[in-house]
Amino acid sequence: MKMGYQDEVAAAGSGLASYFSVFHKLLENKIAALLAVVRRAAEAEAAAGARGGGGNRGGAAALEAARAQAKQEVAALVKDLRDSCEQSQHTYLHVQHMLHYLGNQRGGEALLAVAQQLEADVAAAGPSLPVWSMQKLYAPQGSSAAQVEACNLIGRILQAGPEGTAASDVQRLYGLYSSAPEEAVGSGGDGGVGSSARRQGGSDSGAASAGSLSTAPLQHPRLVQALLACIFNASRPPSSDLLTASADLLARATCTRPVPIQPPKLTTTTDTQQVASQQRQQPGAGSPSAEDPAGAAAATDRAGESRRITETTQMLHWAVGVLSRTHGRFTEEDFAMAPQVKELPSVMCGVIWTDSASFFLFMLSRLLRVPGSR
């Protein structure tokens, strides 16, 4: 395609998509336009923050207008992507692979969100089962067998939807994450803080061990909906095992940073030996913080995530217990736990999901301390 004729080719319609190089060039233009929209929105947010946020009415109105415009532009670009790729599976997969690959780069979260929106739109417009079942195809080359199996199970859950999720799939997915070593489960590709040799590679050093798992695939909107439906089901309360599995997965999905999977960086034995030799020669090499401040910070972040996961899991179990006591008496523990709900969006979403009048009456009694409400 000659430079300068992109608009003319785009106006010719999707028929030219059969020429793959033309299709790829048009895709590059659309992704560049998406990044430009995201950049303008980020600049508007930064400008509003510099002015003191929503402190003045005019600034707040301008920020809302910028957000609305960005949302409209992104929606239009996603529609263009869908129209250009939904005719065939190979063009759709190419678009998704491009979005996921670029989304794996630093600051690429917006492109992952676009990939998920495109996925939902294509599934809604045609047969949805093939669309949802492609999750394992998005795992980077070199992902561990456990990671590929996790993506496969997630695809099965997405296929079934929130109303038809199989408890066995949820429990198998939970088994993969709960059985992996703690240091091998993380929000990024290397499952948190790996060895010093792996960290020498910088942001691209997502070296995956045989059992490493990323929580990024859990952070899929449709999967979160399915887990909420498993936990908060008024007509069919979850079994103890299903509640444990769903609560743990939901907590992992909502309490870790949305860092996508990174493919492993290939290193040679010589590279690893050179890195180890350099580290032994550095002063203070015995101290993790002195040896690698970034690694120490990552360890602190991981500890914070672990604490939030534990708190969220406990709150999910508590909320299910409160919802089951429609006509029961609330305890002092219930009243002590209630204020924490507002700090945990996943728990509040679950309560709203059930549309439970009993819980909201309980919250009202908690605020008013109605006599006899316990």
Band the pLDDT of 169: cuts 50, 70, 90.
Answer: very high
Tens digit of each residue's pLDDT (9 = 90 or more) over 225-276: 899 889 887 778 889 999 999 999 999 998 887 555 555 554 555 555 655 5
How far is the C-alpha of 47 from the C-alpha of 303, rounded, in Å? 33
Question: Which residue in the block uniquely carries the two structure tokens 């429990």?
Answer: 171
Q: Name the β-bridge partners of 186.
A: 214
Band the pLDDT of 120: cuts 50, 70, 90.
Answer: very high
Tens digit of each residue's pLDDT (9 = 90 or more) over 288-341: 455 667 677 777 777 888 888 888 888 888 888 777 765 556 666 666 666 666
Tens digit of each residue's pLDDT (9 = 90 or more) over 48-100: 777 765 556 767 788 888 889 999 999 999 999 999 898 888 899 999 999 99
- This model's pTM is above 0.85: no
What DSSP string runs through 143-183? Answer: --HHHHHHHHHHHHHHHHTTTS--HHHHHHHHHHHHHS-GG
Contacts of 294 (CB under 8 A, 6+ apart): 199
- Contact (CB, 8 A) for 176 and 156: no
pLDDT more than 70, % of the chain = 62
CB atoms within 10 A of CB 248: 21
